A and B are shown apart, each in its own frame.
Chain A
Amino acid sequence: MATTDAAAHDGIRAEASQGTVVNFGFWLYLMSDVIIFSMLFVAFVNLSTNYAQGPTGQELFELPLVFIETMALLISSLTYGLVMICLRQGNTKWVQGWLLITFLLGVGFVGLELYEFLHLAFEGYGPQRSAFLSSFFTLVGTHGTHVTFGLIWILVMVGQVAYKGLTPAVASRLTRLSLFWHFLDIVWIAVFSTVYLGGMYR
């Protein structure tokens, strides 16, 4: 075992696999996030008819608004895909450009969600009104918080690309941000189907 062979092997392994090791770790983190969302979905489904004489989803949800929200997020996933393509081509400018467009779409999504939340709260249908609304605000809000953190992360990465260029470390972080962003998209599809469509067509 005690040969320079092993030492060389060790060195190569460390160099080549560091990125994949971190990505693997990030996947596992996302799995723990899946559990978090699963629990929130379970809570929502469990409480979704506990209106406490309050309004139902059918009375509250505005599908056109949610549709625009959904489109903003789905398209932002597409534009993040373009970030990754430009990253592979080494096109710093367009990496930044698509990152910013993704950011704007994300801001649009969060903005519409905030509008919806505030609108409901002002009408007296805040999370305190019933268990149904508590679980609605928590599930949708947790997703929105994730998107918000994703937005901060995008800004950080725009800065890193500007200052450091597309170094291997930066590229590796962009890859994980991509995983995160697509993950939120998938979760949103579940939210959209369970909460909004399920609520409207109960």
Chain B
Amino acid sequence: MLGRLSLQAIPYDNVIIMSAVALMAITGAVVVGATTYYGQWGYLYREWLTSVDHTKIGIMYIILAFVFLLRGFVDAAMMRAQQATAGPGQSGYLSSEHFAELFTGHGTMMILFVAMPLIIGMINLAVPPQIGARDVAFPFLNSVSLWLTYAGGMLIMVSMALGQFGTAGWTGYTPFSEQAFTPSTGVDYWIWAIQISGIGTTLTGVNFLVTILRERAPGMTLMRMPIFTWSALITMVLVVLAFPALTVALGMLSLDRFFDFHFFTGDMGGNQMMYINMFWIWGHPEVYIVILPAFGVFSEVTATFCNKRLFGYKTMVYALAVIAFMSFGVWVHHFFTMGQDALRNSIFAIATMIIGIPTGVKIYNWMATMFRARIEFKQPMLWTLGFILLFTIGGMTGVMLAIPGIDYKAHNSEFLVAHFHNVLIPGTIFGMFAGYTYWFPKAFGFRLDEKWGRHAFWGWSIGFTVAFMPLYVLGAMGMPRRMASYSNPEWTPLLWVAALGAVIVMYGIVCQIIQLISSIRNRHRLADLTGDPWGGRTLEWAMSSPPAEYNFPVIPRVHGIDAFMDMKENGTAYQRPAEYGDIHMPQNTAAGLILGIAAFVFGFGLIWYIWWLAILAGLVMMGAVIWRSCTDDVEFTIPADEVKHIEDERFRKIALASQQTDVIDSESRGRVNIDGEPLSPG
């Protein structure tokens, strides 16, 4: 009846896991209790869980990402503590099995449940308004994607309390991830968490490709799109091409595990190398999927806070496209050491190095934009500057690893760990923090506290440097990655330094939490009344903050790059239309939520071999899709009167803001045109 699920599946005897589970249960109980106490279930359900509004979906993605950032960070800190205390003659405080779960979980979560939801969240928040659209092309599909991502994430959460998570690393290399070597639930949790959320991501890719190609405002040609939208477009091309490859690789691995197929097994003709090729056909583009949107954010931020048009717009676009194209041609550099001939290694080595060129072009473009600009050192700009400095180091060590000769020495060593953290943290994570502080006022109507933001920035930057620079040295000293304990006493001091770095990063994270709480408490002082707190250049700043459900009461007409800056310069930015029309918007629906819950149950049933449950959940999913596909009337109308009412309120706020211009100018720039003169409200 319950497959292989029994009470023995709960790891009672592990104090560390049980205290984490207790913490999770308490947090869950507090959230549920508070929601009940304040009677907010109805509000939560109507306004959020069933929402198809891109802003709300974006916010929910980002919330998921931050929860998993905390979990992923705790895993990282535990690994650092283990390695610091597991030197010669000591064994640390973790079993090697638990350590393996930690590095598998950390990698899986940070890539797929932190980086991906952050990126998709930012894209959801910013792309539709940047192209002057009211919503994405398929709002319901957007909700499905969100809840599939949540379903995958919740499977990882459950793995902590019931059974265990994978021990085969976030790449799940065969044959170790095969049934013969890891018969427990771990790899299955890993498979289904990624599989379900990955399908959600593929759907997001389709959705945003159509949105960007078909929903642009009149006048917004491709070469007038903001760079962030460009980066989203190109990222989504990668998503649609790469994620199905992951789906297939994981599908074959699950057939091997569940039904004794022989795709990747060691016997009966299976080919282990095929898994590794297939995994990286997704995995390599994936590293560009998580970095390109960050490049987009940095471009927006640099232009805005330098108050200049971005230098080399076209080269920026071409660089993005070239990077994306090449990302499919370099996957073999992940296994230079696995016995291909030298010619093949050389081809992929050269291809890998060539990607450095367009990336360098982008760095020079950002620097040229800053050249002789009056840079405003607000939080988003700080993250950008930190990125440029640190990412360049990571990029250079990447070119080193692209040399097969060096790779033979450094492969699977701490050098590699240092390298990819050195690109992913300053790149993706700093990029998303820049986006978070940049678009936060747009999503919520108030800015984030500057002071705590600066503390967070320095905590992360210094902590990152202290934590990861020693790993380069350790790698050069020959320390392999993923070691639960070791016998070389020379490594211990540097591992303590790395652990100290993790503590400093924790300071940064604590500051971010304080920043969020204190900003919410001071939201009236930090309010963004105009909708344009930074003197923005692109269309999302032409809406109110937070945006009305329909984004734009009238779809704007675009005349060039930096459409909103154009309008401000021409004095057309805050004009009111002669009259408002009715607006049709998609209705909220529970179908996406139901699909997500069913997908979670489906995955859970399969992990524990509870076949009837999996079949039942599969039928529910199919039913939900059929039900939805038979529904014709999915829109509702916001009458013109109501639009006028909402817009009146918006202009009242703008007028209020212009009375307080002095106050606002002391904290942010308020709305000024390019010459620094305040603009009159419309």
Specify which chain B residues have a CB less than 8 angstroms from the CB of A14 in the assembled complex: 584
A39 touches B271 (CB 8 A): no
Interface stretch (choices B152-160, B208-216, B389-397, B492-500)? B208-216
- Measured in the bound complex, the distance between the Cα atoms of B271 and A131 in whole Å is 8
Please name the residue on chain B nearest to A8 by beta carbon: B581
B244 touches A152 (CB 8 A): no
A43 touches B252 (CB 8 A): yes
The answer to the question of A11 belonging to the interface, with a C-beta cut-off of 8 Å to chain B, is: yes
Q: Which of B137, B244, B262, B271 has the most CB of A within 10 A?
A: B262
Specify which chain A residues have a CB less than 8 angstroms from the CB of B554 in the assembled complex: 1-3, 6-7, 10
The answer to the question of A160 belonging to the interface, with a C-beta cut-off of 8 Å to chain B, is: yes
Specify which chain B residues have a CB less than 8 angstroms from the CB of A130 in the assembled complex: 262, 268-269
Please name the residue on chain A nearest to B633 by beta carbon: A169
The answer to the question of B576 belonging to the interface, with a C-beta cut-off of 8 Å to chain A, is: yes
The answer to the question of A127 belonging to the interface, with a C-beta cut-off of 8 Å to chain B, is: yes
Specify which chain B residues have a CB less than 8 angstroms from the CB of A39 in the assembled complex: 244-245, 248-249, 278, 281
Specify which chain B residues have a CB less than 8 angstroms from the CB of A24 in the assembled complex: 210, 213-214
A152 touches B262 (CB 8 A): no
Interface positions, chain B 197-238, Cβ under 8 Å from A, are 202, 205-207, 209-210, 213-215, 218
The answer to the question of B9 belonging to the interface, with a C-beta cut-off of 8 Å to chain A, is: no
Q: Point out the residue from B137, B240, B267, B577 that lies within 8 Å of A31, measured CB to CB.
A: B240
The answer to the question of A62 belonging to the interface, with a C-beta cut-off of 8 Å to chain B, is: no
B263 touches A9 (CB 8 A): no
The answer to the question of B575 belonging to the interface, with a C-beta cut-off of 8 Å to chain A, is: yes
Interface stretch (choices A44-52, A64-72, A100-108, A189-197)? A44-52
The answer to the question of A132 belonging to the interface, with a C-beta cut-off of 8 Å to chain B, is: yes
Specify which chain A residues have a CB less than 8 angstroms from the CB of B215 in the assembled complex: 21
Known: A32-B206, A33-B244, A35-B241. A47 touches B263 (CB 8 A): yes
Specify which chain B residues have a CB less than 8 angstroms from the CB of A169 in the assembled complex: 632
- Measured in the bound complex, the distance between the Cα atoms of B209 and A50 in whole Å is 40
- Measured in the bound complex, the distance between the Cα atoms of B453 and A58 in whole Å is 68
The answer to the question of A76 belonging to the interface, with a C-beta cut-off of 8 Å to chain B, is: no
The answer to the question of A63 belonging to the interface, with a C-beta cut-off of 8 Å to chain B, is: no
The answer to the question of A146 belonging to the interface, with a C-beta cut-off of 8 Å to chain B, is: no
- Measured in the bound complex, the distance between the Cα atoms of B219 and A6 in whole Å is 11
- Measured in the bound complex, the distance between the Cα atoms of B132 and A9 in whole Å is 13
Q: Which of A29, A40, A132, A160 has the most CB of B within 10 A?
A: A29
Interface of A is mostly: helix
Q: Point out the residue from B248, B249, B555 that lies within 8 Å of A6, measured CB to CB.
A: B555
A128 CB to nearest chain B CB (Å)? 5
Specify which chain A residues have a CB less than 8 angstroms from the CB of B263 in the assembled complex: 43, 47, 131, 134-135, 138
The answer to the question of A88 belonging to the interface, with a C-beta cut-off of 8 Å to chain B, is: no
A75 CB to nearest chain B CB (Å)? 26
B207 touches A25 (CB 8 A): yes
A46 touches B137 (CB 8 A): no
Specify which chain A residues have a CB less than 8 angstroms from the CB of B261 in the assembled complex: 127-128, 134, 137-138
What bracket does the count of chain A residues touching chain B fall in? 35 or more
A131 touches B270 (CB 8 A): yes
Q: How many residues of B contact A (CB 8 A)?
A: 58
- Measured in the bound complex, the distance between the Cα atoms of B206 and A135 in whole Å is 28
Q: What are the interface flags for A10-45 relative to B under an 8 Å C-beta threshold, 1 for contact and 0 otherwise?
A: 110010010011101100110111011001101100
The answer to the question of A156 belonging to the interface, with a C-beta cut-off of 8 Å to chain B, is: yes
B303 CB to nearest chain A CB (Å)? 22
A61 CB to nearest chain B CB (Å)? 18
The answer to the question of A164 belonging to the interface, with a C-beta cut-off of 8 Å to chain B, is: yes
The answer to the question of B8 belonging to the interface, with a C-beta cut-off of 8 Å to chain A, is: no
A173 touches B269 (CB 8 A): no
The answer to the question of A89 belonging to the interface, with a C-beta cut-off of 8 Å to chain B, is: no
B237 CB to nearest chain A CB (Å)? 10
Q: Point out the residue from B251, B268, B278, B584 that lies within 8 Å of A131, measured CB to CB.
A: B268
A167 touches B572 (CB 8 A): no
- Measured in the bound complex, the distance between the Cα atoms of B553 and A117 in whole Å is 58
Please name the residue on chain B nearest to A5 by beta carbon: B557
B262 touches A131 (CB 8 A): yes
Specify which chain B residues have a CB less than 8 angstroms from the CB of A160 in the assembled complex: 630
A7 touches B555 (CB 8 A): yes
A132 touches B269 (CB 8 A): yes
Specify which chain A residues have a CB less than 8 angstroms from the CB of B213 in the assembled complex: 24
A46 touches B267 (CB 8 A): no
Q: Point out the residue from A25, A135, A164 that lies within 8 Å of B138, measured CB to CB.
A: A25
The answer to the question of B255 belonging to the interface, with a C-beta cut-off of 8 Å to chain A, is: yes
B557 touches A51 (CB 8 A): no
Specify which chain B residues have a CB less than 8 angstroms from the CB of A51 in the assembled complex: 269
Specify which chain B residues have a CB less than 8 angstroms from the CB of A134 in the assembled complex: 255-256, 261-263, 270
- Measured in the bound complex, the distance between the Cα atoms of B578 and A1 in whole Å is 11
B210 touches A4 (CB 8 A): no
B555 touches A35 (CB 8 A): no
- The 6 A-B residue pairs whose C-beta atoms are closest, nearest first, are A50-B269, A131-B269, A1-B557, A35-B244, A39-B248, A134-B261
28 A-B pairs within 8 Å (CB atoms) are namely: A1-B554, A1-B557, A2-B554, A2-B575, A2-B577, A4-B578, A6-B554, A9-B555, A10-B555, A20-B214, A25-B210, A28-B209, A32-B205, A35-B245, A36-B244, A39-B245, A39-B249, A50-B269, A50-B270, A52-B262, A127-B255, A127-B261, A128-B268, A131-B271, A134-B255, A138-B251, A138-B252, A156-B626
Which A residues are closer than 8 A to B by beta carbons?
A: 1-4, 6-11, 14, 17, 20-22, 24-25, 28-29, 31-33, 35-36, 39-40, 42-43, 46-47, 50-52, 127-132, 134-135, 137-138, 152, 156, 159-160, 164, 167, 169, 173
Besides A28-B205, A39-B248, A127-B255, 17 other A-B contacts (C-beta < 8 A): A1-B575, A2-B572, A2-B576, A3-B554, A4-B581, A7-B554, A7-B577, A25-B141, A28-B210, A31-B240, A39-B245, A43-B278, A47-B269, A131-B269, A138-B263, A152-B626, A160-B630
